Amino acid sequence: MSTDLQSSVTETSAFVAPLREEIARVLIGQNELVERMLICLLTGNHLLVEGLPGLAKTLAINTLATTLSASFSRIQFTPDLLPADVIGTNVYNPDTRQFTAKEGPVFTNLLLADEINRAPAKVQSALLEAMQEKQVTLGGTTRKLPSPFLVMATQNPLDQEGTYPLPEAQMDRFMMKTIVGYPQRAEELAVLRLMSPTMTKPSANEVTNIESISTARSVVDEIHMDEKIEEYLLDLVLATRVEGRGQLSVRQKDVNLDFLAPLLSAGASPRATLVLAQGARALAFLDNRAYVLPEDIKALAPDVLRHRVIPTYEAQAENLDADAIITRILNTLHTP
């Protein structure tokens, strides 16, 4: 790793600290959610957020858009939503007797897909195609989406009536699935005082621009990942697969993962390996480092893997969800 790379990381990541400070003025807590959004922006990926209503998910992405001077759209997914409501449609103009394309809310930098599992499969498919290809087709013409393009989709973990759960293949398109919980007491007290009727509600200011994100992406790709950390990352993903447990690195030769056999019915795909590496590099960049640490892998592993591994009915009967199984894997494997 060269000093030039560290200098490049320091220079291009200079916007991160002011950005975090500005967001913190408006958004109390939710630091992990903001960090995950930034990681997805820096790697060109998308985020799935699971949390109850009222936990500032909309405020978080809206505030990020303001600080980046980026465009922002929000779609409330409902059972009667149509694909055209997302990507747009052709509108007939009686004066010119021609159809003109009307772009949908997907043409933005940051898109909040609120309660994505409340829309039917065709709508989800239209959005996920836009996420994957970064383009949509309107009236036979392919239109590129703005860059950067981030979709933050939300799900309500409790109210499942009238929902259309995302299939595993579609879930795999999201880089991470982040769980947003209730704030701590001190944080909620700060929110209470901040939102008091006698207080002026803070609003975010522009700190940087989306060009800084585009510039940072090329630097993130160059961040060094040691071979030992690459092996550790592979061991972690392979441990989730039945056939992968016999392919662990020499470092893990004395590790016994037989306990996983009755707990997992399906493991993580190779996409998990790729996005975990991307995310670790982006996390190092956010911390002004030109190299990846094992702690970066550990920090992001639950978010990257929890929607890519499928626990068995036996695991569920023992109250072991994906997070609990991932934690056991992390505690069992040797860290470099």
Query: Which amino acid type is present at position 221?
Result: D
> Quick one: 184 and 262 in the same domain?
no
> Quick one: 91 and 211 in the same domain?
yes
> Quick one: 15 and 104 in the same domain?
yes
Which tokens belong to 126? 């239209």
Residue 291 confidence class, pLDDT cut points 50, 70, 90: very high
> Quick one: 62 and 150 in the same domain?
yes
Residue 283: domain span: 223-332
pLDDT of residue 216: 94
Query: Worst-scoring range by mean pLDDT, 73-82, 111-120, 188-197?
Result: 188-197
**CATH number of 48's domain:** 3.40.50.300
> Quick one: 147 and 192 in the same domain?
yes
Look at residue 334 and tell me whether its pLDDT is greater than 90: yes
Half-sphere exposure of 308 (CA within 13 A, CB side): 28
> Quick one: 308 and 244 in the same domain?
yes
pLDDT of residue 91: 81
Q: How many domains does the chain have?
A: 2
> Quick one: 46 and 182 in the same domain?
yes
DSSP conformation letters of 99-158:
EEEEE-TTSSSEEEEETGGGS-HHHHHHHHHHHHHSEEEETTEEEEPPSS-EEEEEE-SS
> Quick one: 139 and 28 in the same domain?
yes
Residue 230 confidence class, pLDDT cut points 50, 70, 90: very high
- Contact between residue 76 and residue 114 where contact means Cβ atoms under 8 Å apart: yes
Q: What is the mean pLDDT of residues 241-268?
A: 89
Q: What is the mean pLDDT of residues 248-269?
A: 89
> Quick one: 193 and 242 in the same domain?
no
Domain boundary among 218, 243, 277: 218
Domain boundary among 192, 218, 244: 218
**CATH number of 314's domain:** 1.10.8.80
Residue 152 confidence class, pLDDT cut points 50, 70, 90: very high
Q: What is the mean pLDDT of residues 161-180?
A: 81
pLDDT of residue 162: 61
> Quick one: 67 and 188 in the same domain?
yes
Query: Worst-scoring range by mean pLDDT, 146-160, 193-207, 237-251?
Result: 193-207
Domain boundary among 218, 242, 274: 218
> Quick one: 58 and 143 in the same domain?
yes
> Quick one: 178 and 261 in the same domain?
no
pLDDT of residue 159: 64
